[in-house]
Structure 1
Amino acid sequence: MLNTDQISLVTFAVVLRQFGDYERAKKYYQRISVRSRQQGLNVAQLHHNWGRAHFDAGEYNEALAQHLVALQHVMPSEMIGMVVILTDIAATYQALGNINLAELYCHKAMMYLIKNIVSWNPLHPIIISTCTKLGWFFARTDRSEKAIQMYQKALQVGKATYPKDHPELANIYNNLGGVHKDMKKWNSALYYYELARKISDKVMITSPTTATIYNNIGVVYLSMNDLKVGKNYLYQALKMRLAIMSEDHPDLFTSYANIADVHKAKHEIVLARIWYKILATMTARRLPVGHSIRIYAHLQLGSMYYLLFEWEKSVLFTRSRKNDTEFVQSRGKYG
């Protein structure tokens, strides 16, 4: 087991991760891991939280590696830990685009949950987080009704378990808003997003979740063609993210793309071009060649140059949809 000093370091690392300081959190987990190995200890919780720090930082391969180590060391008696690790492995495979393995681990988590936890405590908090993660998976695989079913189950247990301003309820409301947004039910989406925002403004002011909620509200307003209100929420989301995330975090790519899109919709071509270029620059550093966001950034940047009558640049970025390594090679050429 961990000694008192290690427990203090683990707690501090968890706090760092929750406040978005992923780099420092990972360093603390690494320090604890070295000490544990020296003492011959294997700690599933350590590697699981370490994996979560990588996941939150958008480093999904590293997250998967830590989660799989955690799965190897979790004890059969640690039923809650087993369910959490299984669902996080599923989420990580989902983020990596491996839907088959994601669904496999979702199924394992659900079966383990029903067999070992729901049967003796139908209001256990782990049911909330597990149903939320499963709902997220179903939403990302275009099974909206199944996702809503999972989220509503999580909400039912959450309301019976937590106070009304608990962050977990904000997370559930945000996810319900997301499903309705994907279904183009804008008013329903705003209803749930506003419930999430009211909680997050009270108890999660500096949380990445709060920034995501503001971003999502902005996107819905854009979809409803209320560009002024939408832009306001998107800029607030970006400000929050810049304060707590590294410059190449994937959530920032979402903010850059959305802000560029709203300027494009308002026919503010110069501003749109600036934001698309930021997006193209950052995604070229962080994402692999052929990634959809990289291609989107280059195509949109090319179209902005076209509208600004800068033909050579327009051709360069439009062609980059086939091989966007050209952008990396030419960044010094075009300012």
Structure 2
Amino acid sequence: MIDIIGPSNINYNYLNASFVYSQLLKEILLDIHTEKETDRRSFIEHCYKPLSDNTIIDLFGIDYKKHSPIYCYSIYPSVFNTVNQALRTVNVDLLVKMTFFIGDLHKQIKELHPKVPIKDKLVVFRGQALTKRECKKLETSIGGFISFNCFLSTSTKQDISEMFAESNSSAQGCNGVLFEIEIDPEISSSPFTSIEEYSQFPEEHEILFSTHTIFHIDRVSVQNDGLYYVHLSLTNDDHDKNLYELLVYRRKEIEGQTCIHRLAQLLYQMGKFQHAKHFFHILLGTTSSWDEIFQLSHYIARIDCQIGDLKHATAQQAIAMQFDAGRNPALTADINAGMAEVFLRSDMLEDSLELYMRAYTIAERSPTINDHSKVLYLNNIGFVLKLQKNYDQALTHFQKALDIAVARFPSTHPDIANIYQNIGSLYFDKRDFKMSIDYLKKSFDIQEVSLPSDHPSMGYIHYNLSKVYVELNQCDQAIHHSQLAIDILKKSFSDDHPEIRKIQGHHDAVSVVQRWKRSSDTSQHRAGCGYSYSRPHPQ
């Protein structure tokens, strides 16, 4: 997997959210390596499990102690394939197992980097296949950036890399791509090194870059045979300004006592709820601090709310609600808001509103509670008021939340998108569909550049857009967005999740009406594609 980030001054929407989260994940994995060494045998057993070859497993252990990470990376194909596959696909469970290897390999590349002889500039090459869609995106992203989410192998020999590019040009749905990478030692900050002396194929003159190295896209050309030539240059750390602001802010939001705390928080932000829950449970099993037990119980309850397990969420929040309110105002406010969400999803609106109001009152009185929490409480108060059809008060709270978020957060922060989505939902309820779709599109534009493409929030915005398109008699658009919503949510939730069932019902109803319209020639049947809605998803 690669991340392609277009220049902000050309098209702001090219800002790539997955880049932010992959960078944060890389930082955490490298920190886990320094904090706790992972079992090497467990990792290598995974790499060679299909072969059931204990000889190779034992040999790797010997070589790892005798030689170096680069040596093992070079001579054990299953090792580098497994590492890079896990990095590209963000296989969290496997990545945590292999942090020792990722960290050791990165460390050795960094140590050897100053020894690379570069008098002026160095040019290296890489040949590979990219999907036709990725190639088109490269063409429109000149002046932007590209990040390879793996340890990147390159060669100083152009003919070798061209051979790899040409051999991949016939792959179905793909084009062969030759990357030409220019390295200026004066401005480059990402570590790389020659591994020629360690390699089984020294004639390839391999240069290995550490994972998630970022390059500037200088120019792109396409040859008559369909082969893409892409000129890149290694950059310093001064990348896209909007991207950098979001990265810094997200990094601050996931601060925690240990790397596992940070990892769990990051996975929650990414919408990887089951993975996040797994690590919160690990933390819960290793602490004896009551404060932390209450906090972790609260986090687990939030996830249970998201995945539709309200019974367990209620039990977890009940544990958290035992927390002494005088000891930690921020945690007390969060726990009240957590129970408010349980009540909200259980249709207990008065109880929910009371607890959200209590959380916000605590936040207003405490200078230690951050703006993110205040925005969340105000936004959710507005949402409950909207459900109670108190639209003026709801809009007042949404606007107050928006004022804080716009003033204090990066312009691409997902909290701003959530507020816009709720305002769009409010106007939908008031049947002002023009205002509704305007706000929903604002929300979508931010979510598209600040969240992973499979984040559940992306599913909910597609559902809300689908509902508006129904009212605008644009059935094709409505069906398109509802199908996207279902596809996205099924990546995070089971098929019987209440939100998926609701959206599937919506999708099926619109599809039936659409077929009915197409089978009829009467103007009456062509008039619209609407039907009655159930309550929308709480934000």
Q: TM-score range by the shorter chain?
A: 0.7 to 0.9
Q: CA deviation at 1:131?
A: 1.8
Q: Over alpha carbons, which structure has the higher Rg?
A: 2
Partners in 2 of 1:50 and 1:247 — Cα distance? 19
Note closer, same or farther for the CA distance 1:72–1:260 as it changes in structure 2 (3 Å cut): same
Q: Which moved more, 1:157-166 or 1:245-254?
A: 157-166
Note closer, same or farther for the CA distance 1:277–1:108 as it changes in structure 2 (3 Å cut): closer
3-state secondary structure, aligned to 1:162: coil
User: TM-score, normalization: structure 1?
Assistant: 0.75
Q: RMSD value over aligned CA atoms?
A: 3.0
Partners in 1 of 2:333 and 2:502 — Cα distance? 32
Residue ranges of structure 2 left out of the alignment (5+ in a row): 1-16, 40-255, 521-539
1:189 matched residue in structure 2: 394
Q: Deviations over 1:95-127 (max 9, x none)?
A: 22222221111111111x12xxx24x4x73222
Q: Deviations over 1:235-286 (max 9, x none)?
A: 0000000011121211111111111211210223343344334335545666
2:357 matched residue in structure 1: 152
Partners in 2 of 1:37 and 1:127 — Cα distance? 32
Note closer, same or farther for the CA distance 1:146–1:45 as it changes in structure 2 (3 Å cut): farther
Task: Give the conservation status (yes or no) of the 8 Å contact 2:273–2:303.
Answer: yes
Task: Give the conservation status (yes or no) of the 8 Å contact 2:337–2:355.
Answer: yes
Note closer, same or farther for the CA distance 1:165–1:26 as it changes in structure 2 (3 Å cut): closer
Partners in 2 of 1:272 and 1:59 — Cα distance? 27
Note closer, same or farther for the CA distance 1:196–1:307 as it changes in structure 2 (3 Å cut): farther
1:223 matched to 2:429: yes
1:50 matched to 2:49: no
Q: Which structure carries more strand by proportion?
A: 2
Partners in 1 of 2:26 and 2:519 — Cα distance? 46
- What amino acid does structure 1 have at the position aligned with 2:371? H
Q: Higher relative contact order at CA 8 Å, sep ≥6: structure 1 or structure 2?
A: 2
Task: Give the conservation status (yes or no) of the 8 Å contact 2:271–2:492.
Answer: no
3-state secondary structure, aligned to 2:460: helix
Q: What is the total number of aligned residue pairs between the two structures? A: 284
Q: Deviations over 1:286-326 (max 9, x none)?
A: 65445415623641552364155179xxxxxxxxxxxxxxx
Note closer, same or farther for the CA distance 1:304–1:33 as it changes in structure 2 (3 Å cut): farther
How is 1:8-19 mapped onto 2 (pairs within 5 angstroms)?
Answer: none
1:22 matched to 2:21: yes
1:105 matched to 2:316: yes
- Select which of 132, 135, 138 maps to 2:340: 135
Percent of aligned positions that are identical = 17
Partners in 2 of 1:145 and 1:91 — Cα distance? 20
Note closer, same or farther for the CA distance 1:110–1:162 as it changes in structure 2 (3 Å cut): same
How is 1:194-273 mapped onto 2 (pairs within 5 angstroms)?
Answer: 194-204=399-409, 205-273=411-479
2:130 matched residue in structure 1: none
Note closer, same or farther for the CA distance 1:220–1:46 as it changes in structure 2 (3 Å cut): same
User: TM-score, normalization: structure 2?
Assistant: 0.48
Q: Deviations over 1:172-212 (max 9, x none)?
A: 11010111122232222212111111111111222211101
- What amino acid does structure 2 have at the position aligned with 1:86? S
3-state secondary structure, aligned to 1:73: coil
Q: Which moved more, 1:178-187 or 1:157-166?
A: 157-166
Q: Deviations over 1:146-167 (max 9, x none)?
A: 2222222212121112399933
Residue ranges of structure 1 left out of the alignment (5+ in a row): 1-17, 312-335
Task: Give the conservation status (yes or no) of the 8 Å contact 2:330–2:363.
Answer: yes
Q: Which moved more, 1:273-282 or 1:126-135?
A: 273-282
Q: Which moved more, 1:209-218 or 1:258-267?
A: 258-267
